[in-house]
Amino acid sequence: MNKKALKKPSILATTLLATTLLVSACSGNNGGSSSNTGNSTATPTNTAENTGSGSTTEPVTLDLFVDQTWWPLKDWSGQVPEEITKRTGVKLNITVATDDKQLPLMIASGDLPDLVATAAQHARMADSKLSFDWNGLIEKYAPDFKIDSENVAVNTASDGKIYTVRNNFSTKEEWAANKETALLMGAGISVREDILNELGNPQLKTLDDLTNLFQSVKDKYPDMIPLVLNPPNWHRGYFEQNFGAASGLNDVDGKLVHGLHLPANKEMYLYMNGLYRKGFIKAENYAYKSEDQGKQLMYSGKGFAYAWTTQGSDRLTLDAKDSGYKFINLPMKLSDNYKSVNTGVGWQGVYITKNNKDPEASIKLMQFLRSEEGQRLAMWGIEGKNWNMSADNKYPEFTYNHLDDSQRKEKGVYYWGLLAGSATTELTGSFVPGTDSTKTGQEYTALTTFNSAIGLVVPGADSQEQVIKNNIDNLVKNEEAKVLLATSEEAASKAYDTMVAQADKMGLGKYEEWANSKYEEVKKNFQQ
């Protein structure tokens, strides 16, 4: 997910970053009978006079550390936090991380607050020495708090306990129930609509059609760049999908294979090299470090197509409003080999630490925030005041600009939903009917399959497998330009083979062997 322009790996991927994820990727009850709560049920509404920790005239104040340096809400204020306190009897005292080293130091010293929200330190916080397991707290304080089997599968720690339930995850049932409004965000390509129309709006059904379109742009508009790539996260995504080869681990007939070992991945690199050699992509594009460098080419009228996300057309059109340019997204599927697999297992989770002064109030707060009532309140706002359900009862219609961050901050809305909200609740809150991005999102979502087990194949911190993975990721980052910018297909092929050979020497085969062993282990979680 991409909180703050896809800083989390999307629904983000999330999740564009973001938007989304993002995601990235970095994933409400819309039909009356469907649920986005992971089968968690809310306790009877509590007030400051009747909290989860017994009768009291004052709300319980819990200290929360948010392990996200960009987190914009520094205190528990606004309409939504006040309403959460009314319904739960809990207030939060907020501390936001100053850097990514702060929480590891707190863990090492044992100086932890009541609650910790983190996406980066799951492996360390899921430890019985540091955190209460939710299983025991639920049994003791909230026996009506039910967690569905899929959320159990993706959140069970190595000791068999659940220490948090991550946000930004939804079950297959939730995705199916909200398929019209909870739209995934993935890689896409947006183009200038006026230029496309001037070219006769040619058919786009294959990758050859796409190549021909770029050639037409180059021929008719020699000063225009046919394709601009979003740096540094999205430049290959659209092509990976259409060649059916993800850059990480891929399930091939039940076994995990790294993208570098897939023939389709090499074909994708050679295709992109061909786009460069034909003059459709500028070499300097691969040196860009910021999204703004790529976007500026589009806003200034120098670029025709922009490889970014499925939300790209509407966002580019909005940002380029001064120039009057309108963008539309290209079709997602241009190949029979198209493959999009969502491997998300959630993003951020809240841990109830062993230093917690009121574990009962804490687990009941999490139960409320995971309930349909709590998710909608925290993510969308107060029903009847900030939003009302659409006539078809499928998505919220807001009384404020829910994408305006200044209004979000004023109301204290959305971000507290990221403590526990499901992917489908979050995405449904971003649904806008009839837009080009919505059309593309519906197409992309329909083409996407789910395999959360792959998302659980994650090396342990500082493990040998983590070292191998990091080395290979850095290798690709540093060496792929030799493939993409090669002066001939033969040279590109040789450069790719050299990159793979280096990865093999680094232990790629050993990493795949470990990954498959882990894959078989985690798949059992989904068979219970």
Count the neighbouring beta carbons within 10 Å of the beta carbon of residue 148.
Answer: 16
Tell me the Ramachandran region of residue 78: left when phi exceeds 0, alpha when psi lies from -120 to 50, beta otherwise. left
pLDDT in tens, 295-312: 999 999 999 999 999 999
Nearest CA to 2 among 309, 404, 245, 306?
309
Cis previous bond, 396, omega within 30: no
In the structure, what pLDDT confidence band is assigned to residue 527 with cuts at 50, 70 and 90?
confident
Residue 454 has pLDDT above 50, yes or no: yes
From residue 137, give the alpha-carbon distance in Å to each of 24, 163, 411: 32, 10, 31
**449 forms bridges with which residues in the sheet?**
341
Distance, CA of 153 to CA of 81 (rounded, Å) = 31
Tokens describing residue 107? 């863990």
pLDDT in tens, 242-291: 999 999 999 999 999 999 999 999 999 999 999 999 999 999 999 998 88
Please give the pLDDT value at position 38. Answer: 45
| DSSP H or E stretch at residue 328 | strand 327-329
Determine the residue type at 270.
Answer: L
- Residue 181 backbone phi and psi in degrees, to 5: -120, -30
Rounded mean pLDDT of 76-84?
98
**306 forms bridges with which residues in the sheet?**
190, 228
Domains identified in the chain and CATH numbers: 50-173+347-428 (3.40.190.10), 187-342 (3.40.190.10), 455-526 (no CATH)
Determine the residue type at 457.
Answer: V
DSSP state letters, 190-207: EEEHHHHHHTT-----SH
Distance, CA of 283 to CA of 276 (rounded, Å) = 7
Question: Does 90 or 24 have the greater pLDDT score?
Answer: 90
Distance, CA of 147 to CA of 41 (rounded, Å) = 9
- Residue 65 backbone phi and psi in degrees, to 5: -105, 125
Tell me the Ramachandran region of residue 39: left when phi exceeds 0, alpha when psi lies from -120 to 50, beta otherwise. left
